[in-house]
Amino acid sequence: MPGFALEPEQQEWCAELRALAAERLHPLAEKGEPGRVNRPLIAALGELGLLERLFTSGALDLCLMRESLAYACTEAETALALQGLGTYPIVQSGTAGQRERWLPEVMAGRAVAAFALSEPGAGSDAAALTLHADPAPGGGANGGWRLSGEKCWISNAPEADFYTVFARTTEGAGARGVTAFLVPADRPGLTGAPLDMLSPHPIGALTFDAVPVTRADVLGEPDRGFRVAMNTLNLFRPSVGAFAVGMARAALDATLTHTAGRTAFGGPLKALQSVAHRVAEMATRTEAARLLVYAAACAYDGGAPDVAQRSAMAKLLATETAQYVVDAAVQLHGARALQRGHLLEHLYREVRAPRIYEGATEVQRTIIAKELYA
């Protein structure tokens, strides 16, 4: 893909996705209840084959899907992404039994997944997590563990059907003492509560009261769960950037239409140099973010050694760019953009969270600097 120009078939696929999102998925999203899992929307993603493609394609395809869906229906994009984030640890590290049990259900849109990493005192500093796994009678590797503690700000909680949970199995070992577990939602001792957040999808807290897990529930190897988490985030961080690019492009296109048609001071807004220059800046930043996202995705697909750095750069630039572009679009539209139901009012609420989740902007800068000085 020289210069990261999409091939004609990729451009056609993206156009099809935008149309599907607008015509098929957006009506389902509008019928959903804020703060609740929209299962009809997830089922539609399964029927359209998008959930299957999510797990059978590479990072670039994931980015193209997220960008295209975000352009026309952010709720569909988020539903797709959360299914991927919660399930990808099973794809990369699950046993045959775990894959057979859950992957067909997720791909069909019948099972809802969640990625349970963050805690009240351990968000971006994931190595500091304190949810602990105490050996059950008989020994950890043989007799299993009991999970005790809390998870917080977990997307799709408490309504998910299963959780990818990261717990401390070895005290004092930092990142090397964390194990990833696949925990079905019906395990005894697992409860949850919704959090009232600025988000259209559910976000909740989970409480683990001696929740039983066994060796059959481990994803990967005991004490090697941090690698499972980071491998997942390295894949999904560029695609968070793609989500942001999709929102930025939607805001930019709305602004082009508005400034070309709205008259002020005797002519169209676009004739005002201050407006034209602002729109040019919006377009330039959006294109730069798009190229960096695609480059990071191609690096991941190609097995490049600097994937962590590229992923962090892509998420950093794209999410900060989307915040700038959407804010500028609101300013150029004026009061109408703040009306409930306006595209930009919706994007203004949606664009803020990606600068925080899956590693805040400040964390991405720390990762980049660490990689540069390595």
Cα-Cα-Cα-Cα dihedral sign, residues 80, 84, 85, 86: positive
Q: Which of 189, 172, 73 is nearest to 127 (CA)?
A: 172
What amino acid is encoded at 61 in this protein? D
Enclosing H/E stretch for 17: helix 8-20
**Residue 267 tokens, joined:** 């002519």
Q: One-letter amino acid identity for 70? A: A
Give the span between the Cα atoms of 79 and 156, in whole angstroms.
9
Give per-residue burial for 147-185: e unless 16+ CB within 10 Å, then b: bbbebbbbbbbbbbbbbbbbbbbeeeeebebbbbbbbeb
Residue 343 CA from chain centroid, whole number: 21
The CA-atom distances, in angstroms, between 173 and each of 4, 69, 140, 147 are 41, 41, 16, 17
Would you say 241 and 81 are in contact if contact means Cβ atoms under 8 Å apart?
A: no
205's tokens: 């807290």
Can you say whether residue 349 is alpha, beta or left, with left for phi > 0 and alpha for psi between -120 and 50 degrees? Answer: alpha
The vertex-311 CA angle with 326 and 219, nearest 5°, equals 120
Q: Which amino acid is at 284?
A: T
Which contacts of 15-20 are long-range, i.e. CB under 8 A and separated by 24 or more positions? Answer: 15/68, 17/64, 17/65, 17/68, 17/69, 18/68, 18/69, 18/71, 18/72, 19/72, 20/48
Concerning whether 33 is annotated as a catalytic residue, the answer is: no
Task: Name 32's Cβ contacts closer than 8 Å, sequence gap at least 6.
Answer: 38, 40, 41, 75, 200
- Single out the catalytic residue among 47, 358, 362, 371: 358
Contact criterion met (CB below 8 Å) for 325 and 285: yes
- Active-site residue list: 358
